[in-house]
Structure 1
Amino acid sequence: MTRFAALLLFFAAFPVSTAATDLIDFVPVATGLDRLTTIVSTPLYPDKVFVAEQLGRVRLVENGVLRAAPFLDITDRTLSTGFEQGLTGFALSPAFPANPFVYAHYIRLDGASRVSRFHLLPGPVLAADPASETELLTLSQPHPTHNCNEVRFGPDGYLYIGCGDGGPPFTPVHDPQSLAERYGKILRVDVNNIPVGQPYGIPADNPFVGTPGALPEIWALGLRNPYRFSFDALTGDLWIGDVGQSTYEEVSFVPAGTRFGVNFGWNRMEGTHCYPNPGCDTTGLTLPVIEYDHNEGCAVIGGPRVRNGEYSQLEGRYVFADFCTGAIYAARPDDGWQRVVVGHLPRMPTGFGMTPDGQLLIGSYGIGDAVLYRVTIVDALFADGFND
């Protein structure tokens, strides 16, 4: 049985339903999309939302309407037949469009992960030029799961790249603890100050710069499949949803300004538990602040910490989801990041985004019928529930 088939069977065992006590609701913004992965916006284009499709396209939603012509189309070089393959990461340059570059992660036709830069096309139509591709990183993949996925600029202006352990599940070929490999890591690179002949620069304060045998772009290690991560727009803290192995899903937290090489423990730990046997040494490991087991779901989808005041009831809460159940969770710091189910998406959630004016968006899975949703608040229910 393929992983895709297994997940669909799991999903069927946990049917999505909208409970009478749900505290949020979902309004479709755009439909007929393909397996949404990344949702991006920028204050310089407050009427636009960039939505990446696994097929190999980035679409534009302008004033709530899906533009027919893609912003970027690289379907001719993207392999998206696997459940976790395709165009799975997209980011705008922090100074976009004055700095006219966008960045994407996709799976090449030969199955390798590639992170590339693309240049905007000249002229009045906002679009990126597929022919302008400049390769930053290519990483062969031994299995169609646990690839690289998220690409995101941090508040420090550096590009962070999340790479899974490469799979296969249970017996990954590569070592997420090895500093000589990029698998199971978050990489941190400088795409503005690039030495001659190099694809990117290395920030001088990366934790393993100068460490013999270590790749200097490694910023954190010990991850299994960090499919989605985000930076707190107010504090710069990093939140990582790392998809688990057999039993536990986890969300990890790295405070802004952390300089040491964070080790999240995989494949010695799964969540806060030793893997596969109890009694392991956890010295020096950063354990997750949130976890749940597979009686409740199958794959965590990391989201944002809600800011900007559009949803006063969710302000300051970290929001995330489970792929199989469609459950949307919110967690807050004053009760130790205990999670509360606030809603149930009617489809399998795949990614989150926030607009400049503070609207929370959620994308769904679906081959040709994926939906981009906007979150709304069921105010009356919040009065009796979440704010207590």
Structure 2
Amino acid sequence: MKYLYFFTAFISTFAAAQTIGTQLFATGFNSPVEIVHAGDSRLFVVQQTGTIRILNANQTINPSPFLNISSLISTGGERGLLGLAFHPNYATNGFFYVNYTNTSGNTVIARYSVSDANANVANQASATILLTIPQPFSNHNGGTLRFGPDGYLYIGMGDGGSGGDPGNRAQNKNELLGKMLRLDVDGGTPYGIPGTNPYVGIDGADEIWSIGVRNPWKFSFDTTDGNLWIADVGQENVEEINKVAAGDGGYNFGWRCYEGNSAFDTSGCAAQNTLTFPFAIYSSATGSGNCSVTGGYVYRGTTYPNFVGKYFFTDYCSDKIGMVDGAGTVTFSSVQPGGSFTTFGVNAANDLFIASSANGVIYKVIDTSLSIPDNEKTAFNVYPNPASNVFNIRSAGGAFPVALSVFDLSGKQLLQQDISGESEQIDISNLQAGVYLVNTEDHLGIKSTTRLLVD
């Protein structure tokens, strides 16, 4: 199709600074805290209240939950159903894993199976508990589960809560709290220990992969280089983002000795040169507007070339989406709609999504700059811009008749219309809020593109 070719060529011809934005994707969720895919077109949305809902590629939500364990969990604050990971061989074995706080407030890692009869429903009776970890306080439960490129299951555990890690658990190698754990879910019953975990055969808990985290609220593996990115919530002044090679672990990320790069309580701590300090930090001190980091993903999609290789995160209080480049430089977007962002997610195509616990909405993260220079001359004027329901197009020297097309940012054509008059009104009432391209080509073959914001 010639218009799609023109769109692709236009994007590749110009380069501009990326601008992070959001586009409404789905509504109707209750306290979403995780978004995961299972290798197909569906997104599985974890609700802190104890259910997992399926969001389809056409943006509809299945009426029946995939899993409902609301009767098994404690809720409120930082407790609840917190994590979900699909086995690398899910397509054949049907196994998936959840992380929740039980009715006693303790962390549970459990395995379930999908129903043999219905791929959109789990077998509620298939639960096998792998691990239960006592929690001394209600906060800092971590919650994320991810399978690494090595096929092992990684688990992020907070330091047990309260403030300042009063039990010094994060530095205690015999405690599972304040750690990154790694299990071989195929290597034993209920699990095995990877032979290269750092404390196997010596003093320390065998499940530990690395120590010294406070509350790792989301971690992920870069699908290109395998690096592990961990967003660790700070105590008072510093939010930190760690980037390390997956490998065999043994890292000490420093808490409670250090908050980010700053000393916090160094009594009895290991030598500074044995610690792994953050790849990037930002301030959450009073007056910054920030309070708590939510980790995301390194963008590996194809829709937004400017985003590729950048790590995305957000802050729960500031409602801004942040980005870390290869040098560890942090940049923030303007304030995004929704706010109180609790999780990112990616689909099988590596499109990036973000969820708001404030309104139960899932947004797609987009590049609003779209690599279109501000001084791009067009043969037609589009107004008003932003627009709602309709926009007008008026000749600025173009020749009629004119073929007009509207594309979304993935290059999908949403509207095509022939225009024969000097001014015409275009109905866009079926378009969701977001950024679009209006392409025109007159009968002389002169083409132009205008970016249209729909609110």
TM-score of Structure 1 vs Structure 2, range by shorter chain: 0.7 to 0.9
Which residues of structure 2 form unaligned runs of 5+? 1-16, 375-455
- The answer to whether structure 1 residue 74 and structure 2 residue 69 are counterparts is yes
**1:225 alignment partner in structure 2:** 215
Paired residue total: 352
Q: Map Cα deviations across residues 198-242 of structure 1 (whole Å, 9 max, x no partner).
A: 421000111111112x11110000000001000001111000000
Q: 1:345 aligns with which of 326, 331, 336?
A: 336
Alignment map for 1:1-388 (pairs within 5 Å)? 23-43=19-39, 45-46=40-41, 48-63=42-57, 64-81=59-76, 83-194=77-188, 198-212=189-203, 214-257=204-247, 259-276=248-265, 281-294=271-284, 295-333=288-326, 336-346=327-337, 347-366=339-358, 369-379=359-369
CA distance in 2, matches of 1:88, 1:170: 23
Q: Do 2:112 and 2:124's aligned partners in 1 also have CA atoms closer than 8 Å?
A: yes
Q: CA RMSD in A?
A: 2.0
Name the aligned partner's letter for residue 301 of structure 2.
Answer: N
Further displaced range: 248-257 or 48-57: 248-257
- Asked whether the 8 Å contact 1:166–1:174 carries over to 2, the reply is no
**Following TM superposition, by how much is the alpha carbon of 1:24 offset from its aligned partner in structure 2, in angstroms?**
2.5
The structure whose Rg is larger is 2
Q: Is the 8 A contact 1:167 1:173 kept in 2?
A: no
Measure the CA separation in 1 of the matches of 2:302 and 2:317: 29
**Percent of pairs identical after alignment?**
37
Counterpart of 1:353, as a letter, is: G
C-alpha deviation, 1:260, in angstroms: 4.5
Aligned 8 A contact 1:230 1:304 in 2:
yes
1:289-320 deviation per Cα after TM superposition (whole angstroms, max 9, x unaligned): 11111224100111100003221110000111
Give secondary structure in 1 for the equivalent of 2:177. Answer: coil
Structure 2 distance, partners of 1:22, 1:313, is 6
Amino acid at match of 2:253: F
CA contact (8 A) 1:33 1:371 kept: yes
Aligned partners of 2:372 and 2:274: how far apart in 1? 40
Deviation per residue, 1:254-277 (Å, 9 max, x gap):
1243x2410000010000111147
In 2, are the aligned partners of 1:174 and 1:181 still within 8 Å (CA)?
no
Normalised TM-score (structure 1): 0.86
- Answer 1 or 2: higher relative contact order, Cα 8 Å, separation at least 6: 1
Per the normalisation by structure 2, the TM-score is: 0.74
Distance in 1 between residues matched to 2:156 and 2:22, nearest whole Å: 28
